[in-house]
Chain A
Amino acid sequence: DAGVTQSPTHLIKTRGQQVTLRCSPKSGHDTVSWYQQALGQGPQFIFQYYEEEERQRGNFPDRFSGHQFPNYSSELNVNALLLGDSALYLCASTRQGNTEAFFGQGTRLTVV
């Protein structure tokens, strides 16, 4: 049983560009959450998707958007990249009503 998978593992982008990160949840999970983790800090919640809709959102600007597909996989899009967007982006999946979240290995985004 594959756990949460994220792609790509590493990415380098130029300031002002747009990026799309992908996440496939653990089998049987229907809810996907995205987190941003800057170096030396704990992960910060970006948003959560369930039934193809954004259900919760953290304190992130509209440049951060997402999507969930019918197969429960999800994408995180970031527009107009800033140097400060450089971070590890983590995807976590859960099943509605279940409290344990499973995390992927993350995508390391570097903005230059």
Chain B
Amino acid sequence: DAKTTQPTSMDCAEGRAANLPCNHSTISGNEYVYWYRQIHSQGPQYIIHGLKNNETNEMASLIITEDRKSSTLILPHATLRDTAVYYCIVRVANSGSARQLTFGSGTQLTVLP
């Protein structure tokens, strides 16, 4: 699976949009971009994933560049409860078995009141 690069930490004001970048310049054509987050002392939580097109769900939006070498996770209206470590993961999906997730160090997002 391709390697990802994320900033170590970011701050965001409550109520504003949080934009979390991720670089994955070695991504292959059949690899998806996944985002998980981990609130302190809890297990990671799935947020969203995508291949080429931008994706949106009730939690967030995922913007993937046309060359697929980077992506941005957008939390449109950050709240204090969004403070967490956010992990960007690249992996092959639908490969016949649920492949392992390779976590990096992630981005610590702190939402400030």
The chain A residues found within 8 Å of chain B, CB to CB, are 4, 31, 33, 35, 41-45, 48, 50, 55-56, 58, 90, 92, 94-106
Contacts and interface: CB of A to CB of B under 8 A. Distances in A.
Interface string B39-59: 001111110010000000000
Interface stretch (B10-18, B20-28, B101-109): B101-109
Given A96-B97, A98-B98, A99-B94, A43 B44 contact: yes
Given A90-B44, A103-B43, A104-B43, A56 B105 contact: no
Chain B interface extent, by class: 20 to 34
Contact of B101 (A41, A50, A101): A101
A75 to B, nearest CB: 18
Contacts of A41: 105
Nearest to A33: B100
A100 B46 CA distance: 7
